[in-house]
Structures are given as C-alpha cells and as structure tokens.
Chain A
Amino acid sequence: MGYGQTTSAGLDTTFAALADPTRRAILARLASGEASVSELAKPFAMSQPAISKHLKVLEQAGLISRGRDAQRRPRRIEGRPLADASGWLEGYRKFWEGSFRRLDALLDELKTSGKKKRKPRAHRKRGNKR
C-alpha cells in the first residue's frame, strides 16, 4: 500500500530502474565502492555506450551520482531511493500483518458473541434476528 511518505513518481522511476538485471548488478558492484564507466563495463562484457545507457537510467532514478574526479567521472551509489523502495515493500507486509493480527482478535470476539446469540442452535434463518 501507499504509505504516503514517498512520491509515487519517484518509486515508479526507482522500480523501473531496478527492473533490469544488469542495472541491479551495476548497483551491487557500486555498493562495494565507486567505479568509472570503463571499470563498470569490464565484468559485463558490454560496450561502454551500452553501460552508459544503463548508467543514465540509474542516474535519472537518483540511484547513482557522479563523483568529483573530472577525468574518471566515477559513479557512486545513492542510498535514499533504494531505502524508499524497500521501505515500501516492508510497509506492505507490515500493513497486512498488523491488520490480520487485529482480524484474529475481532474473529475471536465474533465467535464468542455468535455462540452466545446462537444458543440453542435451532434452524434459524438468516435475518431472523439482528
């Protein structure tokens, strides 16, 4: 569910950027330290322009940024959008867990009140009594 704190446009961009396995691998590589485009291209057996395309998507999603070194232009990972994305899913799970725990309690209550009302268990039709 929404959990309001993050804009949906931001999450859309984040998820779209994360949907690609190469981009996830690039992020994983950058998680161990910043790297230049050519350093990133090596392990992927991809051309630099192809890698650059992926980097552009990641950059636009705010997942990576460029370092100060003017020659290498190293890319580095940005944590915030990732934290938002995973925070969202975590929120989804928490939402249902919290809700279902309450539902457990409510069902217990309904069972108890049902037993009281329904005694004796005659052939009572629905809507007979509220």
Chain B
Amino acid sequence: MNNTGSLKISAQGDREIMMTRVFEAPRRLVFEAFTKPELVKRWLLGPPGWSMPVCEMDVRVGGTYRWVWRHDSKGTEMGVSGVYREIVPPERIVSTEKFDHAWYPGEALGTVVLTEQGGKTTLTQTLLYESREARDGVLQSPMEQGVAASYDRLAEIVAAQLAGGN
C-alpha cells in the first residue's frame, strides 16, 4: 500500500492497520520521544502548518492522554484521547485511541513496538479496530483501490469538479 520514503502503511489481518518506520537512533531514545510530553510536543505535529496546543500524558498503565492539534491558519482543531494499557520501556506501548470526531465506529487499540538492531530502531505501530468495517473504512479510498483505469478517470472527474469550484 502506501510506501513513501521509509514509512509503510498496510492492512494486516481483518481489523488492523500496520505502520512501520526505521529511525537512526537507539530505541531508548525513540521510546523517550514517545513517552515524554515535552518531547512528543516537538515532533507529533503532522505536516507543516499544525501546532499541538494540548499534549497531556500520564504515562502509566491506566493513565490517560489527551492531544489536540490546531491548524494555525484555518483554525481547525482535532483532538484524540485514550488510556495507556501497557508500558514496557523501552520496547512497547499499548494505548486506546478515540478521536473527538471519529470517522469510524468504536475506538482503536494502538500498539507501538520498538526493536533495535545495529543502532537503528524499527517502529511498528499497529492499530486494531473494533470491526473489519471500521478498519476498511479507514483504509478505503477510491484512489488506492488499484482498480486503476476507471478510478483514474474518477480521480480526474473529482479533480475537475473541485477545480470548477463545485
């Protein structure tokens, strides 16, 4: 599926989305970057133009987190909260994930696994959804069906309609 740069996103089984990424750093540091709010605030910002006004994290089993992002010029906000289920330094973080405006039913269970080899860390982040429908809903996109020809035309039409201010 998506494979831009070294980020890979793919469907896994019936209800999961898996994402992998390699970092040029020992996992101890990657783990810190995922669990210390003062560090999370500095990188978990998405594409340029977003900031993270709320980054509250009580990193212990049963503790909660709350993240809110804001698009600086549009002013749109998006928030997510959840509960930590497992914390195993420096290799594993399991937490629930529920967006304020979720586009899929239920909540997702996120598992971050860090493995280290030769000073590099491989991050595997799995999101387990409550149903196959929820997972497919997240992944589904006409642009990515690979049913190439007709969908390419579809994309052209969409683009044309948008360009026409529809």
Contacts and interface: CB of A to CB of B under 8 A. Distances in A.
B61 interface: no
A19 B141 CA distance: 9
- Interface centre among B30, B137, B138, by most A CB within 10 Å? B137
Interface in B59-114: 69, 71, 74, 76-80, 99-105
A53 interface: no
A2 interface: yes
B77 to A, nearest CB: 6
Q: What secondary structure prevails in chain B residues at the interface with A?
A: mixed
Interface in A16-32: 16, 18-19, 24, 27-29, 31-32
B78 A111 contact: no
B71 A19 contact: no
A11 to B, nearest CB: 4
A32 to B, nearest CB: 6
Interface stretch (A44-52, A66-74, A87-95): A87-95
Q: What secondary structure prevails in chain A residues at the interface with B?
A: helix
B20 to A, nearest CB: 11
A66 B147 CA distance: 25
A106 B39 contact: yes
Contact of A99 (B44, B104, B158): B44
Nearest to B17: A92
B137 to A, nearest CB: 4
Nearest to B161: A79
B29 A114 contact: yes
Contacts of A19: 133, 136-137, 140
A32 B150 contact: yes
B143 to A, nearest CB: 4
Contacts of B117: none
B19 interface: yes
A97 to B, nearest CB: 5
Interface of A: 1-5, 7-8, 11-12, 15-16, 18-19, 24, 27-29, 31-32, 77-80, 82-83, 85-86, 88-90, 92-100, 102-108, 110-111, 114
Given A1-B78, A15-B136, A107-B25, 10 more contacts: A2-B79, A2-B103, A12-B103, A12-B104, A18-B140, A85-B140, A85-B142, A86-B158, A94-B47, A110-B25
5 contacts: A15-B137, A31-B154, A85-B142, A88-B141, A110-B29
Interface of B: 2, 4-5, 7, 9, 19, 21, 23-26, 29-30, 32-33, 39, 42-48, 69, 71, 74, 76-80, 99-105, 133, 136-145, 147, 150-151, 153-155, 157-162, 166
